[in-house]
Chain A
C-alpha cells in the first residue's frame, strides 16, 4: 500500500475575490489588499483555512516566513473575529441548556447528547452507496490526515492534571510510540486502500465550506491561548461523540465491503475513543475548570461548537445525498451540476 508522507501541499483554487487575493499574496510577499471581502461562505472559509495552514504544513512555493507576516495575520484576525462571533451566537442555546446540569462532565454530556435530527453515521451505516461512503472519507481527510494536531497547540497552555491528561490522550492519537499506529497514518492507509489520494490536502478543492469550517474552528481554538478552554471543550465533545458512531461507520464499511483498512480505522476508534472521552471530559476539562473556573463557559462553548458544526455537516451531506447529488465540489474544469 502506497502512503506518501510529507508531500508538499499544492495551493488550492480560489473560490472568490478574497481567497484569490490570499493565494496571490501567498505566492508573493504576503501583502494582501485591504479592500477585498469574502463573497460567500466558500470564499470566507477557504481564505481562513489557507491562513491557518501556514501554521501546520504550509504549501508548495510559499515562503515559510509568511507564517508570521503582519498583513496575513491582520486578515486572519479579522476573519476570526467574524467566525468566532457567528459561532458564539449559534452555540448560545446549547451552552445555556448544558449549564442547567451540574459539573463539567455532565454539562459536556448534555451537549454531546444533542440530537440534531440527522445522523451522518446512521446514514452511512445503513443507506449510503459506496460512492457516498468514499465522499465521506474525502471530506474527513482534511482533518483525519492531521488528526489531533490542532489540539496539540493547547499543551503548553495547560498545567498539572489537565496537561497530563491531554498528553496521555495525544500519546494514543500519535501512535503510542509506534509510527505505524499514528491515527493520521491509519486514515491515510484507509484512503489508499479505498483507491483515494492519501496525502494531506489532496482533496481541498473538492471539500465544501461546511467541512472547512469544522477544521477552521479547531485551528481557531488551538492557535489562541485565550481560547484554550474552547479547544479542550471541543476535544471532549469530539471524543464523546465518536465511539458509538464509529461502530456505525465500521458496520457501514463492512456492509459495502470496503477494504479492511477503512474498517480498521473506525474499529480502532470504537475502543480508543471509549477511553479518550473520559480522559477529555474528566481528565482534561474537569481538571482545567477546577484550576481555572473562569474557563468553564468557554469549555462549554467549544463543545457546543463541535456539536453544532457537525450537525451542519450532517444536514448538508445527507440532504445532498437524499437528493441524488454529490457532496463534493466539482473538480477544476468540470461543470458544476
Chain B
C-alpha cells in the first residue's frame, strides 16, 4: 500500500487507512494491525496511540 489516508471523526479519533506504523509521542513505533485503525486525538485513551472510546465518557 502506497497511500495513507487520514479521516478525522468530529469529536472522535482519526481513522487511518494504509499506514504501516503509528509513532506515539515518545517516539515508539506501533504496528498497524487492521485495515483501518482509530488513532486517539483526545489524549485520554488508556491504550495509546489507539482510541478506546474514552472520549465518549469524558468532559460531560
Residues of A participating in the B interface, judged by any CB pair closer than 8 Å: 168, 171-172, 176, 243-244, 247, 270-275, 277-279, 282
Contact = CB atoms under 8 A, between A and B. Distances in A.
Nearest to B37: A275
A174 B36 CA distance: 14
B58 to A, nearest CB: 11
Interface residues of B, number: 17
- Which applies to chain A's interface (DSSP): helix, strand, loop or mixed? helix
B50 A271 contact: yes
Nearest to B53: A243
B15 interface: yes
B37 to A, nearest CB: 6
Secondary structure of the B contact surface, majority rule: loop
Given A176-B34, A244-B56, A275-B36, 5 more contacts: A247-B52, A271-B50, A271-B51, A274-B13, A274-B50
A168 B34 CA distance: 10
Given A168-B35, A176-B34, A274 B57 contact: no
A270 B52 contact: yes
A274 B36 contact: no
B35 A171 contact: yes
Contacts of A168: 35-36
28 contacts: A168-B35, A168-B36, A171-B35, A172-B35, A176-B34, A176-B35, A243-B52, A244-B53, A244-B54, A244-B56, A270-B47, A271-B47, A271-B51, A272-B34, A273-B53, A274-B50, A274-B51, A274-B52, A274-B53, A275-B34, A275-B36, A275-B38, A278-B9, A278-B12, A278-B13, A279-B15, A279-B36, A282-B9
